[in-house]
Amino acid sequence: MQVIHIGNPILRKIAEPIENFDAELSSFVEELTKTMYEEDGVGLAAPQVAVSKRLFVFDDGSGPRVMINPEILEKSIEQISMEEGCLSVPGIYADITRPAWVKIRYQDVEGQIHEELFEGYSGRIVQHEYDHLEGILFIDYLSPAKKALLRPKLNNIMKGKVSK
């Protein structure tokens, strides 16, 4: 399983819902989780491995988790800024402002529905990975000036000249 980088059009597509909760899905989740750890990530969405499906895995330090067909139900009004990076935009880090918490409804690998509130570090990860399912990258939150400064690095990533 290979992580794709900015410039690949799959990263800009809205991912398709998952309908089959079967052995193939379980196997994919295992592989995605393994890839996340191999790449030293804290989260990895299916579109980042060129699979346009509404699924991501993450580990906020309390073990691997999976969210299938997630939907954000509520967001806090309070905003928090933290540094983010992304396996699909290697070597780029920036402070991104996001809601302090989100309430999400999602399915697990068996198709069971859950609702949960995520805040702090886990809230940050979940929002970042959710964005991947919507075709949004963290660099989309940057000001035009900051994007202009990063343009040479971003162009190199898109040309396949990656530095981690």
* Catalytic residue list: 129
Q: Report the SS3 class of residue 114.
A: strand
> On the CB side of 50, how many CA atoms lie within 13 Å of its CA?
7
Structure tokens at 89: 């935009």
CA–CA dist 89, 163 (Å, integer)? 10
Structure tokens at 122: 């886990």
Q: Report the SS3 class of residue 79.
A: strand
**Cβ-count burial 66-104 (b if 16+ within 10 Å, e if not):** bbbbbebeebeeeeeeeebbbbbbbebebebebbebbbb
CA–CA dist 37, 58 (Å, integer)? 9
**86 known ligand binder:** yes
Known binding positions for Fe cation = 86, 128, 132
Known binding positions = 86, 128, 132
